[in-house]
Amino acid sequence: MDPFNFQKMFRNMQPTHTFSPDYLKDIKWMVDQYKQVLDDDFWNSIHGMGRQKKQVYNSIPLETWENDTYLFLSAFVPGLVDVNHVKLSFLSDKRVLIKAKPNRPQPATSTKMIESDFHDGILEREMDFPYPVHKDNYHVTVDNSIATFIFRKREANKKEESIPVDF
């Protein structure tokens, strides 16, 4: 018996019927329905059997502080060590755009990265201040991956207008 003569070997196992295209469409529709129901949310609800979705954030966490004279803006950028890796642009006297380039903290003796949650590109974030600030006079420091911008508050233009009222 020739071991590669499958027709002789499996002659009794030949299918006696064929699938119609409509029947195959019904099977495909059924499989699509199962996929919609049995998605990752379903499997996660059964004792965490589903795949965990990674969340990658493309935003800079910010905190705003103030005193009587100054407004402080702290921005956390992973691996930030140099003031030159964070840029601030004024969109108005009350709105800024912060862009930063995070640095990956690679251990000294490591050779290959397996997985990372760090964003690869430039992080950016717009921020609205509660008060107008001086755009030309601010200071920035970096310590422990936190860039702190110090702005001098500017008094809002308070124009008193008299409105004539007839009695």
DSSP per position, 67-114: -SSEEEEEEE-TT---GGGEEEEESSSSEEEEEE-------TT-----
pTM for this model (two decimals): 0.57
Q: Note the pLDDT of residue 84.
A: 92
Taking residues 102-123, what's their average pLDDT? 83
Which amino acid does the sequence have at 83? V
Q: Where are the beta strands (DSSP E) in the chain?
A: 62-66, 70-76, 86-90, 95-100, 123-128, 133-143, 146-153
Confidence class for position 17, pLDDT limits 50, 70, 90: low
**How far is residue 109's CA from residue 24's CA, in Å, rounded to a whole number?**
55
Domain 62-104+119-153 has CATH 3.30.565.10: no
**How far is residue 103's CA from residue 92's CA, in Å, rounded to a whole number?**
29
**How far is residue 63's CA from residue 69's CA, in Å, rounded to a whole number?**
17
Q: Note the pLDDT of residue 155.
A: 77
- Higher pLDDT: 106 or 70? It is 70
Residue 86, CA distances (Å) to 5, 95, 165 in order: 71, 16, 53
Over residues 68-98, the pLDDT tens digits come to 999 999 999 988 888 999 999 999 988 999 9
Per the CB < 8 A criterion, the answer to whether 105 and 80 are in contact is: no
Question: Cβ neighbours of residue 101 under 8 Å, at least 6 residues apart?
Answer: 77, 85, 86, 122, 123
Confidence class for position 53, pLDDT limits 50, 70, 90: low
